[in-house]
Amino acid sequence: MTMMPWPGIHRVAVLSHLLSWLTLCCCIPDPKLRESRMQLEASRLTGGALLLTEAELRLSAQLHKLKEEEMASSDFPPALHFFRAKPLIQRSPIYGLLQRMPKGAALHLHDFSIVGVEWLVKNVTYRTHCYMCLTEDQTVRFLFSSWQPKPIPQCSSWVLLETLRSKTGNTTDFDNSLVRNLTLFTEDPEDAYPSQDIVWKRFEQAFVSAWGLVTYAPVFKDYYYEGLSQLYMDNCMYLELRALLPETYELDGSTHDSAWGLKAYEDVTREFVSEHPDFLGARVIFTMHRGINSSMALKAVEKAMNLQKAFPEIMAGFDLVGREDRGRPLWYFKDALSLPNQIGVNLPYFFHAGETDQYGSEVDDNLLDALLFNTSRIGHGFALLRHPVAKELSRKSGVAVEVCPISNQVLKLVSDLRNHPASVLMSEGHPLVISSDDPAMFGSSGLSHDFYEAFVGLGGLSSNIGTLKQLAMNSIRYSSLSPQLKEKALALWQRKWEKFVSDNT
């Protein structure tokens, strides 16, 4: 290209005259129209219609700037696997803010994955009478017992952990191997978990490994107390726990039933709340594995109704758990699930539904079926965008979606969290809450890591302080609390929120 002389002043003037003539006349769209459409879209976003205070707007501007900086980095955490992103997130000032932020309620968590596994290893496995055995596939089982336990099919020899530890060369290495057994966390997740089948297999193995520790009655209570503490430390103020309420056992091999477990949750919750008056408590959603057959499902629903009658305060309802793609679809359980309605009992449902990428499969019908059974919320709803009717119903009847970004990523439904489908739900202000599903399995804590992914990954540069505020308020609004308790919770949250905003601006 040859160098052209800079156009003379005369030519610039002609050009600008021409441009203004074009604008006036026809061809460039009206900037006011553009502006109003942009505002319309912004108002649809979760929290987009909230009126914000001066201080909130200042904090929002601060967050926006921090987000731009993180997005400019070549290692943008939401684009990475959480196991790789975690150290980056820990250093992020946005994460620091989200930890301090009062997040309201944690509505989707499972009973045996609420406490960081370090605690299981460093506290629980160091207790006396703890036996361990190594199975053929090199996974571990634990059992507390006042005598040498008998061999079971997977476990030919139980060894007292004290003895094992004294024989191992390096207890740090040994304890780390136990930590690895109890969580999915690994340095190289892409290599370790090439498929959904493989990651789910390890996930289920880790649950089985933890089982003997967490179902030992004294640990069952301590574990739950520790779980509440960890949520409280993360600035959550209320929990709805999906719980299997399994048989628990004592050192002498005697056992306790589900009612004992529910009573234990109730007692420990009361104790925790009396020590932490700004924590509001917890409710339990009784869960069964979705692999059960129809006659067992009928028994499970009957049991749920009985538990609800005996413990109306803490029992919130019923759900089915386990991998949706391998379990039975909700419609298979139609007889059992219709029973309460038939006999005039109100047993609220909180179904996992749409935690699948198998569009059009039987399991993919779960979203519509969950709504047909009047579910109170939808666990995951990952497939909701493919079900316009379910989406409409969920929106119209205020059936909130419990979005768990890190869980969906680790269990391989999505790899880059900017592409998580709930990004769309957020952009249109669909009723949703953020939760963490199984934080101990993923190495996340409380809700803050998932809030980070939702705010920075799903929300991009669009989400703002209003989004965070709305998400926290949603968690109370869509909880199973009574209207009076919701009001109380919201008032308490509001005070915490105002303090959070003024402390950080």
Ligand X SMILES: *[C@@H]1O[C@H](CO)[C@@H](O)[C@H](O)[C@H]1NC(C)=O
Three-class SS of residue 62?
A: helix
Distance CA 288, CA 311 (A): 18
H/E segment holding residue 297: helix 294-310
Name the CA dihedral angle for 101, 87, 417, 462, rounded to a multiple of 10 degrees.
40
């589900």: which residue's tokens? 258
- Nearer to ligand X among residue 52 and residue 134 (C-beta): 134
Which residue stretches of 168-293 are H helix? 171-182, 189-192, 196-214, 217-233, 258-275
- Nearer to ligand X among residue 210 and residue 472 (C-beta): 210
Strand-pair category, 352-353 with 315-321: unpaired
Give yes or no for a contact between 365 and 387, defined as CB atoms under 8 angstroms apart: no
What does the DSSP 8-state code read for residue 363? Answer: G
Binding mask 395-434 for Zn ion (x = CB under 5 A): ----------------------------------------
Task: Name the nearest CA neighbour of 399 among 365, 421, 369, 358.
Answer: 369
Pull the structure tokens for residue 414.
Answer: 């999505």
437 binds Zn ion (CB under 5 A): yes
Residues 229-258 that bind ligand X (CB under 6 A): none
Which of 374, 462, 494, 505 lies at the binding interface for ligand X (CB under 6 A)?
374
21 binds ligand X (CB under 6 A): no
380 is catalytic: yes
Which of 70, 111, 222, 453 lies at the binding interface for ligand X (CB under 6 A)?
222
For ligand X, how many residues bind (rule: CB under 6 A)?
22
The conformational region for residue 424 under phi > 0 = left, psi -120 to 50 = alpha, else beta, is: alpha
Q: Which stretch binds ligand X (CB under 6 A): 10-18, 172-180, 249-257, 380-388?
A: 172-180
Considering CB distances under 5 to 8 angstroms, the limit depending on partner class, which of Zn ion, ligand X, none binds residue 437? Zn ion
Q: Which stretch binds ligand X (CB under 6 A): 88-96, 173-181, 305-313, 354-362?
A: 173-181
Residues 270-309 that bind ligand X (CB under 6 A): 293, 295-296
Rounded to an integer, what is the distance from CA 312 to the centroid of its chain?
A: 25
* Active-site hit among 380, 420, 430, 449: 380
Which of 138, 195, 254, 484 lies at the binding interface for ligand X (CB under 6 A)?
138
* Active-site hit among 355, 402, 430, 453: 355
Binding mask 341-360 for ligand X (x = CB under 6 A): x-------------------
Residues 181-200 that bind ligand X (CB under 6 A): 181
Distance CA 243, CA 255 (A): 18
256 is catalytic: no
In angstroms and rounded to an integer, the radius of gyration of the C-alpha atoms of the chain is: 26
Q: Active-site residue numbers?
A: 355, 380
Contacting positions for ligand X (CB under 6 A): 123, 126, 134, 138, 140, 170, 172-174, 177-178, 180-181, 222, 226, 293, 295-296, 338, 341, 373-374
Contacting positions for Zn ion (CB under 5 A): 437
